[in-house]
Amino acid sequence: MCSTALCLQSSGSNEGENLDASLQDCTIEKQRGVVRFLWVEGVKPVEIHRRMLAQYGQSNMSQRKVYEWVEKFKSGRTRVTGEGRSGRPSTSHGRKAFSPQEYRN
């Protein structure tokens, strides 16, 4: 199923009674898919944000992010998932964070 389905799947209900709740819990990847879908249809970023805000409420991505993703799609990006990051991996997983005072002792 395409992720641009506007997150209209209700969680386990065929009657659509959970539709509002499922829209509020829509993942950022699905929202990016909606941005891409609407942009491909020629909808301007300001209108994309307005329409998404009406559907997703406070769970919606910011207008700035909508513009950023439209620019990414214009540049040829097709994926809506995050990309791996370069650089040194974090080494603090599972370790206690020490304060500067603890290092002095």
Report yes or no on 6 lying in a domain: no
pLDDT for position 58: 83
* Domain assignment of residue 69, yes or no: yes
Give residue 34's pLDDT: 95
Residue 59 has pLDDT above 80, yes or no: yes
User: Per the confidence metrics, is the pTM higher than 0.75?
Assistant: no
| Higher pLDDT, residue 18 or 35 | 35
Amino acid identity of residue 16, one-letter, is: G
- Tell me the residue range of the domain where 59 lies: 27-79
Mean confidence (pLDDT) of the chain: 76
**What one-character DSSP code corresponds to residue 95?**
S
The domain that holds 36 is classified in CATH as: 1.10.10
Name the residue with tokens 């439209």.
70
Contact yes or no for 52/70 (Cβ under 8 A)? no
pLDDT, tens digit (0-9, with 9 covering 90-100), for 19-54:
555 566 788 999 999 999 999 999 999 999 999 999
